Amino acid sequence: MDDLRTLLHAALDWHQQACDVEVRGVLNNMVASPASREEIRSAWALEQVPASLTTAWRAARSCRLFEDVGSSTSGFVLLSPDLSAAVTSELRQSGDTYLASDYVVGELLGPTELLVYSSADRALRTAMRCKSRSQWPRVAPDLPQFIAQWILAAGRPWWAPQRSRPGAFGTSP
């Protein structure tokens, strides 16, 4: 947990340096204070939350990393335990795409993909509502590793082919 908290704060430092030299336009990085064990337990009521999710929330209740403020075409949002539980519950009840073993833990901005941790296959996947579950790419084995990779990739989706939209992910306008 301390390693993840250190990495999150390193992202804030990177953000300040990037803004100083205008690397990719106006980016927003925000890291909230850690969630308490009681807050996590309260949000999820009787449900047992996977340890990797608890680890991430104990490092930061929520965060926004490499969010493109001007266009909202990129960025990652870690949902708070309360919001994660609410969105997960809603989506589990909406049909057969989301399973009881799924936890919606974050959102990727731009094409609006949800980050879903599946405790059944121990993987974090990006889920687009218009795609079937079999098309959700596996992006990391757990949430802390995803956050670490997101920071190391400077907010670029390493699992997807590079998009060639003008101004996206550091391309020229």
Q: How many domains does the chain have?
A: 1
The string of pLDDT tens digits covering residues 101-129 is 999 999 998 778 999 999 999 999 999 87
- Residue 89's region, left for phi above 0, alpha for psi from -120 to 50, else beta, is alpha
Indicate which CATH number applies to the domain containing 126: 3.40.1580.10
pLDDT of residue 140: 94
The whole-number pLDDT of residue 165 equals 43
Residue 73 domain flag: yes
CA angle 119, 5, 71 (to 5 degrees): 80
In the block, residue with structure tokens 């003008």:
166
- Considering the domain boundaries, does residue 64 fall inside one? yes
| 59 located within any domain | yes
CA quadruple 90, 94, 96, 101: dihedral, nearest 10: 0
Assessment of whether the complete model's pTM goes beyond 0.85: no
Residue 170's pLDDT is: 41
171 domain residue, yes or no:
no
Residue 95 inside a domain? The answer is yes
Give the pLDDT score at 96: 73
- At residue 161, the pLDDT reads 63
Rounded to 5 degrees, what angle do the CA atoms 105, 111, 112 make? 30
At 14 the pLDDT is: 56
Residue 163 lies in a domain: no
Is the residue at 169 inside a domain?
A: no
CA atoms of 68 and 154, how far apart (whole Å): 12
Asked whether residue 170 is domain-assigned, the answer is: no
Q: Name the 3-class secondary structure at 117.
A: strand
Mean pLDDT by 10 residues, the chain (173 residues): 70 55 62 93 89 92 85 84 96 86 92 90 89 90 88 80 47 40
Q: Which domain holds residue 22?
A: 2-157
Are the CB atoms for 42 and 13 separated by under 8 Å? no
Please name the amino acid found at residue 153. Answer: A
Q: Are 77 and 106 in contact (CB under 8 A)?
A: yes
